[in-house]
Amino acid sequence: MLPRELRITRPQDFRRVLRGGRRAGRRHLVVHAVATPATDRPVRPARAGLVVGRGVGPAVTRHRVSRRLRHLLRPRLEALPAGTDLVVRAQPPAADATSAQLGDDLDAALARLRLTD
C-alpha cells in the first residue's frame, strides 16, 4: 500500500495529469506525468495514481495488477523529482504480464519521460 501522501486520490488531479501531462506508452502500461511548478504549491513528494480498467480483466485480475504496480511504484517514486504526479494506466496485456515485465515497462516509460536515468 502506498502511503496517503504518495497517492493521487482526487478526480481533478487525475484529469490534470491525464489531460495536461506527457505520456509514454509501453506494451503493458501507459505512464502519464506532470511536474507541478514549485511556485504553485509547497514542495511535496512525487505522487502516483493507478487506472486499471475492465479491459484488463475481471476484478481479481485487476486487483492483482494494481497490487503489482503499487509494489513497483513505491521505490521508484522516491527517485522522482519532488512535485511530480504520475498516473499509470494498465493495458489489457498487463493481465498476463509478470512483475518483471511490468517493472521493465515502467522503467522504460519513466526513462522515456526523462524522469529517471
Tens digit of each residue's pLDDT (9 = 90 or more) over 39-70: 655 678 999 999 999 999 999 999 999 999 99
C-alpha cell at 54: 475492465
Cα–Cα dist 55/3, whole Å: 27
| Bridge partner list, 33 | 22, 86
Partnered with residue 87 across adjacent β-strands are 32, 49
What is the pTM for the complete model shown? 0.90
Helix/strand/coil for 112: helix
Sole residue written with cell 503499487: 70
Rounded to an integer, the average pLDDT of 107-116 is 92
What pLDDT was estimated at residue 34? 94
Residue with cell string 494506466: 89
CATH number for the domain running over 4-85+93-112: 3.30.230.10
CA dist list (Å): 64 to 9, 61, 86 = 20, 5, 20
